[in-house]
Amino acid sequence: MNVSRFLTTTSQYAFLGVAAFLSLFPFLWMLISSTNTSIDIISGRMGLGDALRTNVANFFTLVDVPLVFWNSAKVAVLATLLTILVSSLAGYGFEMFKSKARDRIYSLVLLTLMVPFAALMIPLFMMMAKTGLINTHVAIMLPTIASAFIIFYFRQSTKAFPTELRDAAKVDGLKEWQIFLYIYVPVMRSTYAAAFVIVFMVNWNNYLWPLIVLQSNDTKTITLVVSSLASAYYPDYGVVMIGTILATLPTLLVFFVMQRQFVQGMLGSVK
Amino acid sequence: MAAGKTGGLKRYYDLNGWLFIAPSLILISVFLVFPIIRSLYLSFFSGKGMMMKFAGFGNVVRLWNDPVFLQALKNTVTFFVVQVPIMIVLALLLASVLNNDRLKFIGFFRTAIFLPCVASLVAYSVLFKSMFSVDGVVNQALFAVGFIDTPIGWLTEPFWAKVLVILAITWRWTGYNMIFYLAALQNIDKSIYEAARIDGVPAWARFLYITIPMLKPVILFTTIISTIGTIQLFDEVYNLTEGRGGPANATITLSLYIYNLTFRFMPSFGYAATISYVIVLMVALLSFLQFYAARDRS
């Protein structure tokens, strides 16, 4: 190995090492800080402390943990399942039943990707207020279900669906909805898994819309709880760290268990 | 087959097509198309709460005389003009290094650099807030290596607060963009790089003249996505600054201002809707420009 080659390899390792350290440090910080008192945390203590038990106990006194977790899980899982169902129906429909009119509508659907949420939140809030849905989880889920991005993802993936399967099922006399349910869904399960991971992440981490709609403590999700604990005048960072760990754990878990699907889902848009 | 596809069969085909897309279309109409039109309509009204009266272009005039709006606009533009290019370049460099399968621990590096984009926006903002406190771990580290001799007021000085927001978003989203580039790079035939290397083309030139042109469509895509995201920046600034966009409005963004106008004070629905249309126009204009710029060169 010549000298210049060695230098570039070394500098590549150095670059990656620094990047990996900076990427992982906040996670490490989160874990270390959960064992420290608030004062130690804001004065940058890097060692393990002995306040973990106190922090956890304080967190459980301040927050109804099972309820908050249940709220988050319920909203995230239900919204995700509905999103996937509705969007895969549309992706399948647009790709399998092509027509000029529907292709034009599809272009319009894609255009909605550019609509910023800020331009929707006021009318949506007024709509929910009028229908008495403020402070309900239904209000959180409804606007998130139809997703142009996931429709696009399913339409792109459907291009790889073997049409012979559909033709054979038709010959066997299956109705269109049966073909979708009994043939398309099982064949496309890896597409569904990838979509699930991506949409679940988005819903679990959803913040602005729940912040607007959920106003009482018994409906709040974990992200809202962490945010409100941290924005107190003198936040107890030890308690906040327990909150951030609990808020991050499910997404980290999903990521590590389904890493391949996660990446595949994200890349679905550039295929 | 063509003869069979007439009349009843064709109608059956068409009916099914509509049925499959109907749920999405209904939801999009109610929760997206209707609100965006309603926003435009609202922007012609002024007043507080439910007491609204027609104001024509009054809200637009008010925009130009509203120092907080102008500050929010300036901040938002600053954030994406500074942050998006830094992040894209960083992500490209990381991807091109990570594409080298000869390096050891490549899987670990990929996962580590990607991991930030699994963190919830609220959680990482809160973590950053604690790390960047005056006596916090970041100032101490900078002090220890001799970069600073007085602590930086990351959350109290307007300039540094902006830097903090940019650092935070860059931390969260670089790995996300990197994955897109990495996937695209793995589709490029390795022999192109081999040939260039044998011809004595240096690494930087390979990056500049092979990698970047090959990745142009992906770079365009991620730039648009990132720009749209940064224009709508909300979660991070809200959680770094207790919802105030401080210090002294140094980090207030358009989305945060809309939120404050609508949900923090007595709601000014009409005026807030007008500001939301500023975001709509910015997103539309920038997406158009970026597409145009990319088309033009090819």
Please tell me whether residues B152 and B75 are part of one structural domain: yes
Do B189 and B257 lie in a common domain?
A: yes
Question: Please, which residues 238-277 of chain B have a Cβ atom closer than 8 Å to chain A?
Answer: 238-239, 242-243, 254-255, 258-259, 262-263, 269, 272-273, 275-277
Minimum-distance CB partner of A247 among B123, B217, B275: B123
Same structural domain, B84 and B146: yes
For chain A, first and last CA: distance in Å?
Answer: 38
Contacts 24+ apart (CB under 8 A), B284-292: B284/A114, B286/B224, B286/B227, B286/B228, B286/B231, B287/A114, B287/B224, B287/B227, B287/B228, B290/B220, B290/B223, B290/B224, B290/B227, B291/B220, B291/B224
pLDDT of residue B6: 59
**A146, B242: Cβ pair inside 8 Å?**
no
- Given CB atoms, is A79 within the 8 Å cutoff of chain B? no
pLDDT at position B27 = 96
Do residues B180 and B46 both lie within one domain?
no
A100-148 pLDDT tens trace: 999 999 999 998 888 899 999 999 999 999 999 999 999 999 999 989 9
- Determine the structural domain holding residue A91 and report its residue range: 61-267
Give the total number of structural domains in chain B. 2
Q: Is residue B42 domain-shared with residue B138, that is, in the same domain? A: no
Establish if B2 belongs to a structural domain.
no
Q: Is residue A223 part of a domain?
A: yes
Mean pLDDT of B44-48: 85
Separation between Cα atoms, residue A29 and residue B119, nearest integer Å: 13
Backbone angles phi, psi at A133, to 5 degrees: -100, 0
* Host domain of residue B29: 7-54
Residue tagged 């990656």 (tokens): A16
Q: Does A6 touch chain B (CB under 8 A)?
A: no
Name the closest residue on chain A to residue B108, using Cα atoms. A20
pLDDT at B286: 87
- B21 shares a domain with B112: no
Q: Is residue A44 situated within a structural domain? A: no
The complex scores an ipTM of 0.90
Locate A67 and state its tokens.
Answer: 């309820």
The least confident of A145-154, B87-96, B120-129, B206-215 is B206-215
DSSP secondary structure letter of residue B215: T
* Residues of chain A contacting residue B127, judged by C-beta atoms under 8 Å apart: 26, 29-30, 244
For residue B263, give how far its alpha carbon lies from the nearest alpha carbon of chain A (Å).
Answer: 7
CATH number, domain of B174, equals: 1.10.3720.10
Q: Has residue A35 been placed in a domain?
A: no
Residue B1 domain-assigned (yes or no): no
Residues from chain B that touch A121, judged by Cβ atoms under 8 A, are: 258-259, 262, 276
Taking CA atoms, what residue in B is nearest to A87?
Answer: B24
Q: Is residue A80 part of a domain?
A: yes
CB contact under 8 A, B269 and A126: yes
On whether both B231 and B180 belong to a single domain, the answer is yes
pLDDT of residue B2: 44
Pair B20, B163 in one domain:
no
Among B69, B127, B225, the strongest candidate for a mutation testing the A interface, having the largest count of A CBs within 10 A, is B127
Q: Are B136 and B44 found together in one domain?
A: no
pLDDT over threshold 50, residue B4: no
* Contact: B122, A231; criterion CB under 8 Å: no
**Three-state secondary-structure class, residue B150:** coil
B104 shares a domain with B242: yes
Among the partner-chain residues B23, B36, B119, the one whose CB lies closest to the CB of A248 is: B119
CB contact under 8 A, B218 and A86: no
Dihedral (CA of A55, A57, A59, A61) sign: negative
Among chain A residues, the shortest Cα distance to B34 is held by A123
Assign A4 a pLDDT band (cuts: 50, 70, 90).
low
DSSP-assigned letter for residue A115: -
DSSP lists the bridge partners of residue A77 as none
Q: Are residues B32 and B157 in the same domain?
A: no
Amino acid symbol at B205:
A
Please tell me the distance in Å from A113's CA to the nearest CA on chain B: 10
CB A218 within 8 A of CB A136: no
List, for residues A154-188, the tens digit of each pLDDT value.
999 899 888 888 889 988 888 889 999 999 999 99
Most confident of B81-85, B143-147, B194-198: B81-85
CATH number at residue A236: 1.10.3720.10
In a domain, A46, yes or no: no
Q: Which residues of A touch B43 (CB under 8 A)?
A: none
Record the tokens describing residue A82, joined without a space. 């509905």
Interface of B with A in 48-107 (CB under 8 A): 93-94, 97-98, 100, 103
Q: For the beta carbon of residue A46, count every other beta carbon within 10 angstroms.
A: 13
Q: pLDDT tens digits for A63-84?
A: 999 999 999 999 999 999 999 9
Peptide bond into B247 cis (omega under 30): yes
Question: Does residue A36 lie in a domain region?
Answer: no
Our count of domains for chain A comes to 1
Backbone angles phi, psi at B46, to 5 degrees: -125, 170
| Dihedral over alpha carbons A58, A61, A65, A71 (to 10 degrees) | -120
Nearest CA in chain B to A207: B235
The answer to whether B32 and B39 have CB atoms below 8 angstroms apart is no
B21 and B165: one domain? no
CB < 8 Å from A in window 140-199 of B = 140-141, 171, 175-176, 179-180, 183-184
